Structure 1
């Protein structure tokens, strides 16, 4: 477990495993819900992320966010070609500082924060837009983000059945076998759409992987596409559905699904609106997530609370000094 064991002036550095241990999915969902309200109220500031080309086909993403209590800066590199190199697609870190003093408090593993908070945003969308525990989920993708979604669903909905579609039926079956320890109720599937109440697309596709007619009682969530040339959800689904996004300004520039479908932005509502006003569940619903540093700030709040609790537990267990 990651906890300060040196003077308070030291920076706590958390590796991937330590970062994961600090970021409980149930706590993340609540922290992100609060951050969504804070973002709308202007008490969390999260400017549009800076995207800089890196290498061949890669990008460097700079994502800061500040609030009255803390500030964070996430710096991550995304190399989609790393899949062929058997290397992680995302590398990076999140720097967390105390807002009043500017003092750096800790460093968190960037890919772990990204994976967990993205999956937690999906959980919040399910809770808000579906309004009940999902019984069956169709998951597109067999990469890192798909694995984080398995963990997230298992944390809140352990009885949900998850059907997995990959680039091939064999890829889906192999993914399920490798990751059954993360969620018991897994099954690979071919090019069909089973009866489900949630669809989650977590791919790096440049063309839609899901373009079914809108269906009442089925929530469609897109989390993989984050550039204008990427798309996971097709026009048929989008045209027939009410659309919510996690961060409207970012979505206008980065939600390739919506941009390629020529969606009327006047009918796109933010997550914060859904949290306050609810959604019309008599209509098909699509939730599109492009990510914002506000969610990383929410994750940092959860991590800091965990660090503080760990420190308190460690101190309380130390024997009293001899007199």
Structure 2
């Protein structure tokens, strides 16, 4: 009789902290892993919806995902009052699970995992949309970034890795935060400067990475053929871009079902019934070459964050840290 393999004890599970997550998932590696997943078995339309539950002073957020080899769940807490106390608004962990036995394999920093997978997914979308630009993509893209938090910082880092010839300008509500972000980038050898909303018409790429619930700029000002990524918010009551931009743009979404549930940037501009009829391209279709851009129109990528992305990066971190 063959002995049954023991499941790892909880105390024996490897833990990957923030530094380990960053080391195992550099930007180009993370983007390549997401693209391989989309070219393989991952279908964003089959992704599990995120689950919310009340918590003291905030809420719990659970994001489960399943795959052939690995499954997992990200467990986060959202505490809106924390920033005023000098604490992080969102905190949590990721539990990676063996799909065959459902045994836990590892635990890792869920906040850092989010900080990596979101920009990696955005830049996968932006780079592929740029590649489909009528007449070819700009040799030196001008990138305008809205936001001065960790997502803005990491989106510039990821954009620099994927678009090494790009120039960067950063727009934020608090000039001191913008200057701190620019200084942090300078220490890493990435040049950026303070930007202004008035630069929107001249940008080739606009990255919206804010917590704003109101549009950041007039969508009529966006240049023809420009690429805009609105990824800082999720929820039907939150938006970073206006209906004008949505209606004049080609649209790419992470997943159509997730966009209908949570993409506040899209739903006010058109009804759910209209979006079902339009059927905008999702990420899988984008990387498979299914986007035909309309000459003279901007292209808007609307991202809300999906559980399959966490699973792809968590597997990358685990394999990089345990299979050496």
TM-score by length of 1: 0.86
Match of 1:269 among 265, 268, 281: 281
Q: Distance in 1 between matches of 2:140 and 2:238?
A: 27
CA RMSD of aligned residues (A): 2.2
Q: CA deviation at 1:226?
A: 0.6
Provide the secondary structure at the position in 1 that maps to 2:214: coil
Q: CA deviation at 1:252?
A: 0.7
Query: Aligned residue for 1:198?
Result: 205
Query: Aligned residue for 1:27?
Result: 29
User: Conserved in 2, the CA contact under 8 Å of 1:35 and 1:295?
Assistant: no
Query: Aligned residue for 2:217?
Result: 210
Is 1:295 paired with 2:313?
no
User: Conserved in 2, the CA contact under 8 Å of 1:129 and 1:279?
Assistant: no
Q: CA deviation at 1:134?
A: 5.5
Provide the secondary structure at the position in 1 that maps to 2:266: helix
Q: CA deviation at 1:247?
A: 1.9
Provide the secondary structure at the position in 2 that maps to 1:36: helix
Q: Distance in 2 between matches of 1:129 and 1:226?
A: 21
User: Conserved in 2, the CA contact under 8 Å of 1:169 and 1:190?
Assistant: no
Q: Which aligned pairs between 1:99-248 and structure 2 lie closer than 5 A?
A: 99-131=99-131, 132=137, 135-182=141-188, 184-194=190-200, 195-213=202-220, 214-248=222-256
Runs of 5+ in structure 2 lacking a partner? Answer: 1-6, 132-136
Q: Distance in 1 between matches of 2:44 and 2:141?
A: 34
Q: Distance in 2 between matches of 1:23 and 1:257?
A: 29
Q: Distance in 2 between matches of 1:49 and 1:63?
A: 5
Runs of 5+ in structure 1 lacking a partner? Answer: 1-6, 311-323
Is 1:286 paired with 2:300?
yes
Q: CA deviation at 1:271?
A: 1.5
Query: Aligned residue for 2:19?
Result: 17
Q: Which aligned pairs between 1:306-317 and structure 2 lie closer than 5 A?
A: 306-310=320-324
Distance 1:256 1:177, change over 3 A: same
User: Conserved in 2, the CA contact under 8 Å of 1:134 and 1:198?
Assistant: no
User: Conserved in 1, the CA contact under 8 Å of 2:96 and 2:315?
Assistant: no
Q: Distance in 1 between matches of 2:110 and 2:140?
A: 29
Q: CA deviation at 1:160?
A: 1.8
Q: Distance in 1 between matches of 2:108 and 2:144?
A: 31
Q: CA deviation at 1:256?
A: 1.2
Provide the secondary structure at the position in 2 that maps to 1:298: helix
Distance 1:134 1:247, change over 3 A: farther
User: Conserved in 1, the CA contact under 8 Å of 2:250 and 2:294?
Assistant: no
Q: CA deviation at 1:89?
A: 2.2
Q: CA deviation at 1:281?
A: 5.3
User: Conserved in 2, the CA contact under 8 Å of 1:151 and 1:183?
Assistant: no
Query: Aligned residue for 2:72?
Result: 72
Q: CA deviation at 1:170?
A: 4.5
Instruction: List structure 1 runs of 4+ shifted beyond 6 angstroms.
Output: none
Q: Distance in 2 between matches of 1:301 and 1:158?
A: 27
Q: After superposition, what is the alpha-carbon deviation per residue over 1:262-294, rounded to whole angstroms, capped at 9, x for unaligned?
A: 353132321112222133152310000111110
Match of 1:260 among 268, 271, 276: 268
Distance 1:134 1:301, change over 3 A: farther
